[in-house]
Amino acid sequence: RKIDSSSSMDTGDGGFFTDVAPRKAPKSPRPPPVIQQSSTDEWKQLLKNRSARSSVEQRPMIPNLASLRKTSIENLIRAP
């Protein structure tokens, strides 16, 4: 009886915690900081999320965004 109750409690609590903790942790704290921070941080977060979901999508997006950022930075530096 003791082994059964302890094992069932451990698997139940452990499973629940591992299921809830990782899903709520990344979703709750990430959205607020991303919105408050600058657009560059938002772009980085988007890239991280996309890379985590599918590395294939991240590869073509990097050169386009990188080139856009380079041109924008050069324009800002050259203008003044």
Q: What is the mean pLDDT of residues 11-36?
A: 49
Spatial contact of 58 and 50, defined as CB atoms under 8 Å apart: yes
**Do 20 and 50 have their domain in common?**
no
**Do 22 and 52 have their domain in common?**
no
Instruction: Please state, for a pLDDT cut of 70, what percent of the chain lies above it.
Output: 20
**Do 60 and 77 have their domain in common?**
yes
The whole-model pTM stands at 0.17
**Do 42 and 32 have their domain in common?**
no
Total domains in the fold of the chain: 2
**Do 43 and 25 have their domain in common?**
no
**Do 25 and 51 have their domain in common?**
no
Q: Which domain holds residue 66?
A: 37-80
* pLDDT 10s digits, 25-44: 544 444 555 444 456 776 67
Residue the block writes with tokens 């452990």 = 14
The pair of structure tokens assigned to 66 is 């990188």
pLDDT band at 80; cut points 50, 70, 90? low
Q: CB-based contacts of 15: which residues, under 8 Å, 6+ apart? A: none
**Do 63 and 76 have their domain in common?**
yes
CB atoms within 10 A of CB 65: 14
